[in-house]
Amino acid sequence: MFKAVEKDFIKTHNKKIESDLKFDYEYLEKKLRKENIDINEIKEKIKKFQVAVPTWGVGTGGTRFARFPGIGEPNNIFEKIEDCAVINDLVGVTEKVSPHFPWDNVSDFKELKEFAYSYSIGFDVVNSNTFQDSAEGELSFKYGSLTNANQSIRDLAIKVNLDAINAGITLESKGLTVWVGDGGNFPGQISFSNSLSRYIDSMKKIYTELPQDWNIYLEHKPYEPAFYSTVISDWGTSYICAKELGERALCLVDLGHHLPNTNIEMIVSRLIDLNKLGGFHFNDSKFGDDDLDAGSINPYELFLIFNELSSASKKGKLNQISYMIDQSHNVTDPIESLILSSNEIVNCYAKSLLVNYNVLEEYQNKDDAIKAMQLLKNAFNTDVSSITAMARLENSNAINPIQVYRSLNYKQTKSKIRVTNKGSSSGIV
Ligand code: PSV
Ligand code: MN
């Protein structure tokens, strides 16, 4: 087994701040005990939490206008895995990566799996890309993929998905996420009705080929790249399609794929009750599908989502959820962004575990809006960083991952080996 970051290097850094952490942890332990909360129980749950990192997230992203490459950035899936391993060695909650095909295509997937395993990295849900064309071939997804009016183009899009499943089987993944950019830019361009029925028809062909122990995740999005209408525009459409496909078809909620002010936590609750919540793509946004770092703009929303998840889990209503990050890092070192994002996600999960749901229900039944709101606010305002840091320390990860990462000079070292693509071509990833 290789170590992207030497354990001793992490240990030496941890040693310097371990006693400060213990002080903070014990203080919080006493505080929470007064509220009958067992801090160790929360810490044990945190130690088991996992969120997958997107392979495309470790490369520098771009906008429609330009892309500004960072130094020492990865050029292929193997170098991406190395970066993901650095993140996981420091934070410990990102043991798996979520690959995108054909972006991450290689000639030998067994070799890729072994390479990743040598860094203790596994593969989470695989993603299929039918929102751009491959270099070869005449057929184009310009006017749609799984919903295209042309049967041969639909067949090609189905094949891209089946290829992704086959790659995923070798990589020991257990699921496929399907997002299509299909839609129309102008009224009249596509038939809402025909394109949706073609989507269901194509998805049925993919669903039939899904291994028995796999799930398929349907991701909706209201606009972009199509700006007038998209085929799978909202959670309602996604739910209808998932229901039509069968038990192993579930809905995936990307936090940026909602119109402004949408109550995402309520959507999460609805999907749980309908037994169709499958997974998340975590990110944050100010305006649209901004793909900013999770918790960087609206951490309270992220907390309220975990509040729904933890409440449902207490009631035994929550199935296995695939937690994934889906972000584009245009101005930061993607490794640093992913370290912080994973921590924001874990922090919000920890905060939600502070909520006493029996008490909340009492307030709800007594129509006491102030007390109910205060209960949630108190949990959100509690500094749980000592719990998540202690979980990292006990799992042999870094108490302060950003500090350890910076002292590694990782990207500077990589820049001497990796070739930086100087081009400024655009492309949102
Ligand atoms: C589309 O905006 C999306 O959220 C889908 O999950 C894609 O797979 C991913 O972004 C690609 O960057
Ligand atoms: Mn997404």
Cβ of 223 closer than 6 Å to ligand 1, yes or no, is: no
Nearest to 334 by CA among 93, 70, 58: 58
Residue-level pLDDT at 135: 77
Q: Which residue has the tokens 């257990």?
A: 174
Atom number, ligand 1, closest to the C-alpha of residue 127 = 8
CA–CA distances in Å: residue 259 to residues 192, 263, 316: 19, 9, 31
219 lines ligand 1 (CB under 6 A): yes
Alpha carbon of residue 397 to chain centroid: 21
H or E, element range at 183: strand 183-184
What sign does the CA torsion over 397, 398, 404, 405 have?
Answer: positive
Cross-strand pairs, 426: none
In 3D, which of 322, 232, 241, 307 has the Cα closest to residue 274? 241
Q: Which atom of ligand 1 is nearest to the CA of 256?
A: 4
Q: Please state the atom number of ligand 1 nearest to the C-alpha of residue 328.
A: 12
Does the beta carbon of 326 lie inside 6 Å of ligand 1? yes
- Does the C-beta of 281 come closer than 6 Å to ligand 1? yes
d(CA 39, CA 354) in angstroms, rounded, equals 9
Q: What pLDDT is attached to residue 134? A: 84
Residue 247 burial class via C-beta count within 10 angstroms: exposed 0-12, middle 13-18, buried 19 and up: exposed
d(CA 58, CA 73): 8
Which ligand 1 atom minimizes the distance to the CA of 129? 8
- Answer yes or no: is the C-beta of 429 below 6 A from any ligand 1 atom: yes
Coil, helix or strand for 54? strand
Q: What is the pLDDT along the chain (429 residues), one digit of tens a residue?
A: 788 999 999 999 999 999 999 999 999 999 999 999 999 999 999 999 999 999 999 999 999 899 999 999 999 999 999 999 999 999 999 999 999 999 999 999 999 999 999 999 999 999 999 999 987 889 999 999 999 999 999 999 999 999 999 999 999 999 999 999 999 999 999 999 999 999 999 999 999 999 999 999 999 999 999 999 999 999 999 999 999 999 999 999 999 999 999 999 999 999 999 999 999 999 999 999 999 999 999 999 999 999 999 999 999 999 999 999 999 999 999 999 999 999 999 999 999 999 999 999 999 999 999 999 999 999 999 999 999 999 999 999 999 999 999 999 999 999 999 987 765 666 666
Region of residue 387 (left: phi > 0; alpha: psi -120 to 50; beta: else): alpha
Give the Å distance between the CA of 232 and the centre of ligand 1: 13
CA 335 to chain centre: 15
Query: What pLDDT, on the 0 to 100 scale, is given for residue 1?
Result: 78
Q: 290 C-alpha vs ligand 1 centroid, how far in Å?
A: 11
Check if 179 has its Cβ closer than 6 Å to any atom of ligand 1. Answer: yes
> How many other CB atoms are there within 10 angstroms of residue 345's CB atom?
24
